């Protein structure tokens, strides 16, 4: 399993007007760039694919925060701040067995795909796309 590094200070939306961002109340301390899931109390905590109760990603934190705080979470859109240099264009990115982490190891919980920007270097960014069930209501 390869963990994909995130630089919390660099997490940001590539195209803010095209992203689907949701305000969420935190159940615990999180950092920008960590994968979140919604718990049974309707608050959000770190997603961990090694535990059934916490393995359904809802989005990626766009900012850090502490329990009780409301932050922004992206459920669809391209983000900066994820180290994708070793990943293939079009490659899938998954929620990890490490709480809040990202991985390139095949898991059921896909959170996005490696996509190029249109700059001369074809800079790689993470396009987050996390469906919320069969009827996406956002």
- Cα–Cα distance between 38 and 52 in angstroms, integer? 13
Question: Is 122 part of a structural domain of the chain?
Answer: yes
What domain count does the chain have?
1
Question: Is 137 part of a structural domain of the chain?
Answer: no
* Tokens encoding 134: 């069969």
- pLDDT tens string 81-95: 999 999 999 999 999
Question: Is 135 part of a structural domain of the chain?
Answer: no
Min mean pLDDT across 47-51, 87-91, 125-129, 134-138 is at: 134-138
Question: Is 24 part of a structural domain of the chain?
Answer: yes
Question: Is 138 part of a structural domain of the chain?
Answer: no
Q: How far is CA 127 from the centre of its chain?
A: 9
In three-state secondary structure terms, 117 is: coil
Q: Which residue matches tokens 């001369």?
A: 120
Taking a C-beta distance cutoff of 8 angstroms, is the pair 36, 30 a contact?
yes
pLDDT reading at 3 higher than 70: yes
């Amino acid at each position: 399993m390869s963990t994909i590094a995130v630089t919390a200070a660099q997490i940001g939306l590539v195209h803010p007007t095209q992203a689907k961002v949701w305000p969420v109340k935190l159940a615990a301390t999180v950092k920008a760039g960590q994968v979140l899931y919604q718990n049974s109390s309707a608050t959000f905590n770190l997603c961990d694919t090694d535990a059934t109760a916490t393995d359904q990603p809802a989005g990626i934190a766009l900012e850090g925060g502490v329990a009780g705080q409301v932050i922004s979470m992206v459920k669809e859109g391209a983000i900066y701040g994820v180290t994708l240099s070793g990943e293939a264009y079009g490659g899938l990115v998954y929620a990890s067995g490490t709480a809040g982490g990202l991985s390139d190891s095949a898991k059921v919980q896909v959170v996005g795909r490696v996509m190029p920007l249109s700059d001369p270097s074809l800079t790689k960014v993470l396009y987050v796309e996390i469906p919320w069930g069969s009827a996406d209501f956002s």
